[in-house]
Structure 1
Amino acid sequence: MRKLLVGISILVMAAAGIVFYGANGATPEVAPAPAPCRDARQLPAGTSTQTIRSGDHTRSYLLHVPATYDGTTRAPVVVMFHGLGGDPQTVLDATGMADRADADGTILVVPLGRGEPARWTFRKPASDPSSDLAFVHDLVGQVQRTACTDPDRLFAAGFSNGSALTLALACDGTTRFAAYAAVSGPYYEPRCDDAPPASIIYFHGTADTTVPFGGADTVIGRLPPVNTTMSQWATRGRCPASGAFTTADDSIHHFAWRSCKGGTDVDIYAVVGGVHGWPGGGPMSPGRASRTQDSPVDATALLWSFFERHPASRSAAGGQ
């Protein structure tokens, strides 16, 4: 496994220049407040189950609305995707995202995959009605019609199978998210080469045996090596420089590509010895006892900070 990490280091240092960043990256930029919604779109605070008709199926999702939502002030939206066999409530419980959303006035949208076990179809383009990329496009449209949302602060996050879907959304571009956070599910295919640059933060444990860091055939198909995948995203973003930050105890390898096309950034956190899970969170599979996963990294805190620094006004990913 150390050989893989050395391989990433060589890849990073081969770039045009080396810049070292702290764990939180650049200082967040404050985006101007968007104009309020002309018509109040009232929603009850808390978590509720909603449904949507997409293609030939009725789908469900959890909608979490913070108490500060007033129906006229445009709220950020984070759409989160569970892993294979997961469910929306487990995602909320394991990641602590609801607490973050409540503190920052953000709406969370957490859909349920299809099938048994529940999964995401991410290899088909959004033009295919059976693709979950098409479903996500419909889902975001419904949320934006019924809630007062900020089109420049629409974000996607996912774990494992949901991570692959998140990166597939960045490839497809039909639904324009401002930035993407992916955990333990690398994805890149040739069709991604033609997509706009995207701001991406990615986490993966080097001891993951479910989705190996070095790539493997998995229950959701072949997934590529993490270092190959993320260097492809950086190349697609035309990133001119790269950087690395390693903790003193060598438990985290943080690689950051900065000043990419359109103001986008690409970050990787390789958790040395980390397994298949949400760094700093609880179990991502339903039915397991709630516990904190030992990790030198808090994925939720880092991705939240990353999202705050990457509204669509700074990103080529755009917004609706």
Structure 2
Amino acid sequence: MKKIFLLLLVIVFTFVGIKFYQSSHTKKTDSLDQYFSIIHNNTERRYRVHIPTTYDENKKTPVILNLHGGGGNIDSMADMTGMNETSDKYGFIVVYPEGTLQKVLGKSLGSWDTGMIKKIITVDDVGYISAVIDDVKTKYNIDEARVYATGISNGAQMSYKLACELSNKITAIAPVASQGAFTTCPLSRPVPTIHFHGTEDICASYNGGLCGGCLQKYFETLIGVSTADTTYACESVPNFIEKWVKINNISEAPKLVLEKDTARCISYGNGQDREVAFCSVGNMGHAWPGGNHGIVCEDADSKKCKDYIRVMGNTSNTISANELMWQFFSKYSL
């Protein structure tokens, strides 16, 4: 019981800091973001929308769904990825759905039901996200043929699940820092995919073996008390990509499409409606290429930041996931 209480305190104080940061460091591009709620399966759930500065209500506008990782929320995801700035640059709408919130001493920690055997929660997140898309189109002039999904970690797993189960609404996906966690994938059509992963990621292990448990390791570092094991067996990222290529019914060998410093992108089925691209980033851990570590590293010299990086690994600016995924998404429509 003492272990649980101490862990909850660490989580709460961590997220209290995030809330303070968000309320006092709001970026100009975030200031007009809208928050909405819908009722799905008798539960009220919210989402956040960023409308680009060039939005024209008379023109259909593409949408990117940006899914936070486990323990995150819609605001932390916007801050970490910088997707709003990319939205303003290219003119797409960003929608931040929010996972099921677990209340911990009044603070909200979100996660997704991604289909893994070792479940965090059991809810209909595919149905919720489908309902979010339907709700957004009642408020804005969206291009329903160009709705894309991305996410990090637990959110990346959810992106794969959406491809498997909601391909009638999801045009293409861009998972970051996690293999898919599904046990079956009833894919009704090929879903173009670009996957980003750090070669030094031990949280969603690039080399496979055991995945998960990194947040727990970080909290243990902070409080010096061991917590429950949350790791699970996973295959290597290259092996998972090969499996996804087969699911997408691609038979061609990969082609090198980008090489920059430690980053390397290959493409299977390049130019086809089922393309799978895979970008590996050397020396990067469990992170968003071109993004940041968020509030925990606002002070890069702080102990909590150094401990976080020690567990999660480094970020990298070698490539921008935002830029590359938008280039990729722009090629595809339903």
The TM-score normalised by the length of structure 1 is: 0.75
1:263 aligns with 2:273: yes
Structure 1: stretches of 5+ with no match in the other structure: 1-44, 313-320
Cα pair 2:167 2:188 within 8 Å, conserved: no
* Aligned match of 1:243: 255
1:59-98 counterparts in 2 under 5 A?
59-98=45-84
1:43-54 counterparts in 2 under 5 A?
46-54=32-40
* Aligned match of 1:213: 206
Deviations 1:130-180 (A, max 9, x none): 221111111111111221111111110100000000011111136521110
Give 1:221 shift.
4.5
Cα pair 1:188 1:229 within 8 Å, conserved: no
Bigger shift: residues 222-231 or 58-67: 222-231
Bigger shift: residues 297-306 or 86-95: 86-95
1:131-280 counterparts in 2 under 5 A?
131-173=124-166, 176-187=169-180, 189=182, 191-192=184-185, 194-215=187-208, 216-218=210-212, 219=230, 221-241=232-252, 242-245=254-257, 247=259, 249=261, 251-259=262-270, 263-280=273-290
Give the structure with the larger helix fraction: 2
Amino acid aligned to 2:203: T
Deviations 1:34-86 (A, max 9, x none): xxxxxxxxxxx930111111112111111111232232211111111001111
| Distance (whole Å) between structure 2 residues aligned to residue 239 and residue 144 of structure 1 | 33
Amino acid aligned to 2:315: Q
Report the 3-state secondary structure (helix = DSSP H, G, I; strand = E; otherwise coil) of the residue aligned with 2:151. strand
| Distance (whole Å) between structure 2 residues aligned to residue 290 and residue 154 of structure 1 | 36
Report the count of equivalent residues: 262
1:28-43 counterparts in 2 under 5 A?
none
Return closer, same or farther for 1:217/1:90 CA change in 2, 3 Å cut-off: closer
Return closer, same or farther for 1:283/1:68 CA change in 2, 3 Å cut-off: same
Deviations 1:220-244 (A, max 9, x none): 7544321121111211222232213
Deviations 1:69-109 (A, max 9, x none): 23221111111100111122222222221112112221111
| Distance (whole Å) between structure 2 residues aligned to residue 179 and residue 282 of structure 1 | 24
The TM-score normalised by the length of structure 2 is: 0.72
* Aligned match of 2:227: none
Bigger shift: residues 46-55 or 171-180: 171-180
Cα pair 1:234 1:266 within 8 Å, conserved: yes
Amino acid aligned to 1:95: T
Return closer, same or farther for 1:264/1:56 CA change in 2, 3 Å cut-off: same
| Distance (whole Å) between structure 2 residues aligned to residue 232 and residue 77 of structure 1 | 27
Cα pair 1:157 1:163 within 8 Å, conserved: yes
Return closer, same or farther for 1:103/1:297 CA change in 2, 3 Å cut-off: closer
1:289 aligns with 2:289: no
Return closer, same or farther for 1:221/1:46 CA change in 2, 3 Å cut-off: farther
* Aligned match of 1:27: none
Give 1:196 shift.
1.7
| Distance (whole Å) between structure 2 residues aligned to residue 88 and residue 190 of structure 1 | 27
| Distance (whole Å) between structure 2 residues aligned to residue 230 and residue 290 of structure 1 | 36
Deviations 1:185-222 (A, max 9, x none): 11154522544211000011111121111222424754
Cα pair 1:113 1:119 within 8 Å, conserved: yes
Report the 3-state secondary structure (helix = DSSP H, G, I; strand = E; otherwise coil) of the residue aligned with 1:191. coil
Query: Which of residues 310, 314, 318 is equivalent to 2:332?
Result: 310
In the TM superposition, structure 1's runs of 4+ consecutive aligned residues that sit over 4 Å from their partners are none
| Distance (whole Å) between structure 2 residues aligned to residue 109 and residue 76 of structure 1 | 11
Cα pair 1:187 1:223 within 8 Å, conserved: no
Report the 3-state secondary structure (helix = DSSP H, G, I; strand = E; otherwise coil) of the residue aligned with 1:276. coil
| Distance (whole Å) between structure 2 residues aligned to residue 229 and residue 92 of structure 1 | 27
Cα pair 2:52 2:88 within 8 Å, conserved: yes
Cα pair 1:252 1:270 within 8 Å, conserved: yes
Report the 3-state secondary structure (helix = DSSP H, G, I; strand = E; otherwise coil) of the residue aligned with 2:159. helix
Return closer, same or farther for 1:115/1:188 CA change in 2, 3 Å cut-off: closer
Return closer, same or farther for 1:53/1:290 CA change in 2, 3 Å cut-off: farther
| Distance (whole Å) between structure 1 residues aligned to residue 111 and residue 299 of structure 2 | 22
